[in-house]
Amino acid sequence: MKTSKFTDRQIVPILKQAESDTPAATLCREHGISGHRYLINIKKAHLPMSLLFNFSASAVSI
């Protein structure tokens, strides 16, 4: 199984940005994480599920 390239120490500031109403798509793009990894970290940190709803797939530009 592949290990994560982010440590918990690196993930915490990203999740704090998510709590400050930064769109999830922007966070994923800025930090180079996938939407799936973002979801896993939200669940792992037991954060409110409302943070999941600020993720819009249409906001991600390829």
> Residue 17: which pLDDT band, with cuts at 50, 70 and 90?
confident
Q: Is the pLDDT of residue 58 over 70?
A: no
**At a CB cut-off of 8 Å and minimum separation 6, what does 54 contact?**
18, 21, 23, 24
Q: 26-49: per-residue pLDDT in tens?
A: 888 999 988 888 888 888 888 776
> Residue 56: which pLDDT band, with cuts at 50, 70 and 90?
low
Q: Which residue intervals of 1-62 are DSSP H helices?
A: 8-19, 24-31, 35-44
pLDDT reported for residue 61: 46
| Global confidence as pTM | 0.64
Instruction: Report how far residue 39's alpha carbon sits from residue 49's, in angstroms, rounded to the nearest whole number.
Output: 9
pLDDT reported for residue 5: 77
Distances in whole angstroms, Cα of residue 22 to Cα of each of 2, 9, 18, 25: 28, 19, 5, 9
